[in-house]
Structure 1
Amino acid sequence: MRSIIITGATSGIGRELAIQYAAKGDKVGLIGRRTERLEELKAEIGELAYVRTLDVTDHERAEVVYRELIDEMGGMDVMVLNAGIGRIQMLPPWRAESKLIEVNSLAFAHGCHFAFDYFREKGGGQIVGMSSMASLLYNHRAAAYTASKHFISVYMTGFRQKARRIEADITITEIRAGYIWTEMTERAKGMFWVAPVEKAVRQMVKGIDKKKNYIYVTKRWRLLAWVVKCIPEWVWNRI
């Protein structure tokens, strides 16, 4: 039985990760902003679920919550940094982009730092970052979102290099997901190769358990990733 903490657990991928890991007999620490949804999920999972309400952009509070959950669960083996947002239509452009960067990049970096320090002291563990195929793309319509995913990818690469230079056995796993049916994507247009969240998360769990460095979800996106890496900048400028 492992102890797995998941941020952004109130819906979509985070919620499904909690359900599937609990079904495997693992303890799951559920973190999110919406208390009612966390309690509903806890009621569905049962005694293997531990919940805390948290806005991950509150870094001081986040450290307290992470440590409370770790103590209550008897340790932490995996931390899944899943909290993230897409474009916020109801806010003015800069306010929307600054909030997105604060959640997707800065709060992610804080969680990664916390987990890395904890696992270094413990002697090992696994950090899972929810990136995206957007980490390989450039999009003038969603500059802040794609940039935030580039940040996650490069940041995790740096921490993977750090992990190789210390004695602790720390695995850094980046999930590069394509289109998945969730609340965040239900209004999106132009999606293709869209996967049900249950199928996508099954592949994530399988890759996480194998301690892979990179997981493409679904697997076919690996082919597109190879193609994208071959595209020069001048082509992106014309798209």
Structure 2
Amino acid sequence: MNILITGATSGIGKELALQLTSKGHKVGLMGRRTERLQELKDEIGDIAFIRTLDVTNHEKAEEVYNSLIDEMGGMDVMILNAGIGRIQMLPPWEAESKLIEVNALAFAHGCHFAMDYFRNRESGHIVGMSSMAALLAHHRAAAYTASKHFISNYMKGYRQKAKRMNADITITEIRPGYVWTEMTERAKGMFWVAPVEKAVSQMVTGIEKRKNYVYVTKRWQLLAWVAKLVPEWVWDRL
């Protein structure tokens, strides 16, 4: 398969590239850091193709998506992995607006592009990197949890849209719990933390099985059930 991955320079995106290519899949890798993309391409070899891109530049993004897809010889799967956490070095509103711009607006643009591409092709697979955070809100990370809730609901709507099309399009939402990456290495209070290799292995399995939802690691599905049952007043006290 030909698989395009955004946010591929580190963490989950990089590990997805490594594990998918180890299975023989061709990958198109996108990210903001050119040097890291080149290092990853050098490690993988000829079945990796790279483009530097800031996904918030929507006009440029569409041009770069098409260029990379042409070089790959088509696209079967698009993995929308680009995202950021809290940015502590920026003023509060500047940090929140940037997070929303990347995690929500740029995600929606990528999803819209993929849906149009696969509708014209009459088949395809869109994979979105959501989070367990999509299932709740938290006063210390209001923008982050809201952005992941947006991703979850947006993909749910697109799954409904896909079912009404004359095309075989799968929409997979990945809901990771805590995964050890550069983005989480300074985070406090983490539990059930999975090594990135284990987490991505489960993601790849879910993608290959074309599941609607993939909880990573699997035990987080238990917490998802609990989260839906807990009344709002309990969350308000946490």
Settle same-fold status: TM greater than 0.5: yes
Gaps of 5+ in 2: none
Counterpart code for 2:83: G
**2:100 aligned residue:** 101
Q: Which letter does structure 2 place at the counterpart of 1:164?
A: K
Q: Give 1:122 shift.
A: 0.2
- Cα separation, 2, equivalents of 1:188 and 1:233: 25
**CA positional deviation for 1:238:** 1.2
| CA shift for structure 1 position 77 | 0.3
Q: Hey, what does 1:45 align to over in structure 2?
A: 44
Name the TM-score, length of structure 1 as normaliser: 0.99
Aligned to 1:217: 216
Q: CA deviation at 1:149?
A: 0.2
- Name the amino acid aligned to 1:50: F
Residue equivalent to 2:170: 171
Q: Which position in structure 2 is the counterpart of 1:60?
A: 59
1:216 partner amino acid: Y
Deviation at 1:233, TM superposition (A): 1.1
Instruction: State the match for 1:6 in structure 2.
Output: 5
SS in 1 for 2:179: coil
Match of 1:31 in 2: 30
SS at match of 2:85: coil
Spell out, residue by residue over 1:190-221, the C-alpha distance to the aligned partner (whole angstroms, 9 max, x if none): 00000000000000000000000000000000
Residue matched to 2:206: 207
Segments of 4+ moved more than 2 angstroms: none
1:63-142 correspondence to structure 2 within 5 Å: 63-142=62-141
- Aligned residue identity for 1:84: G
- Counterpart-to-counterpart distance in 2, 1:142 and 1:91: 15
Distance 2:230 2:111 in 1: 30
Deviation of 1:148 after TM superposition, in Å, equals 0.1
**1:80-101 CA distances to partner (integer Å, 9 max, x unpaired)?**
0000000000000000000000
TM-fit CA distance, 1:236: 1.3
Deviation of 1:232 after TM superposition, in Å, equals 1.2
Q: Residue by residue, what CA displacement relative to the aligned partner does 1:131-186 show, whole Å, maximum 9, x if unpaired? A: 00000011000000000000000000000000000110000000000000000000
> How far apart in 2 are the matches of 1:192 and 1:133?
13
Matched with 1:16 is: 15
How far has the Cα of 1:31 moved from its partner?
A: 0.1
How many pairs align? 238
SS in 1 for 2:229: coil
Matched residue, 2:150: 151
Secondary structure at 2:182 match in 1: coil
Secondary structure of the structure 1 residue equivalent to 2:141: helix
Amino acid at match of 1:199: K
Question: 2:125 is aligned with what amino acid?
Answer: Q
Q: Distance in 2 between matches of 1:140 and 1:169?
A: 40
SS in 2 for 1:141: coil
| Equivalent position amino acid for 2:80 in 1 | L
CA distance in 2, matches of 1:232, 1:54: 42
Task: State the Cα RMSD in Å.
Answer: 0.4
